[in-house]
Amino acid sequence: MLHRRPLALLGATLLAVAGCGDGAVQMPPPSPDAATTRLCEGLRLPEKVNGLSRRDTEPDSPLTAAWGSPAIALRCGVPRPAALTPASQLQTINGVDWFGQPADRPVTWTAVARQAYVEVTVPAKYAPPGDVLIEFGEAITATIPKKPEGQI
């Protein structure tokens, strides 16, 4: 059984993990299968997130994106999080279920229960993370279909 609770109840302190500075954000692109790559390449991401402009990523990949400094970092087509189980606590924001890691102070959020996993790293500077994650909901729901009911 999946457990969902509002993000506002999280109350966790986040750690900053994304790079600082104005150059390209160093970010290893994932290596998904061809079907997942097609879904991710169709993801229409905003030019601004949380009022922050988009930045280049290095190496350049259609599967990665970043905004601001420290960078809010997105990778599409990542593997299923190892800690994700049917009993995991999920945060539902605008129809997208997010799994936060580490559990006690989430920094990395993965959109789950979709045919491609989308990972977003939200530095503590941008707390609460829901203000950032909400901006990806429309792109994810429009592009990446849900998995069958009950699958995460």
Strand 64-67 relative to strand 3-4: parallel, antiparallel, unpaired? Answer: unpaired
**Stated pTM of the model:** 0.84
Q: Which of 140, 114, 97 is nearest to 4 (CA)?
A: 97
70 versus 103: the higher-pLDDT residue is 70
Provide the token pair at 57.
Answer: 């990523």
Length of the chain counted residue by residue? 152
Give the SS3 label for residue 119. strand
Q: Residue 9 above 90 pLDDT?
A: no
* In the chain, % of residues over pLDDT 90: 81
Q: Residue 20 above 70 pLDDT?
A: no
The pLDDT value recorded for residue 21 is 57
Distances (CA, A) of 41 to 62, 75, 101, 144: 6, 11, 25, 10
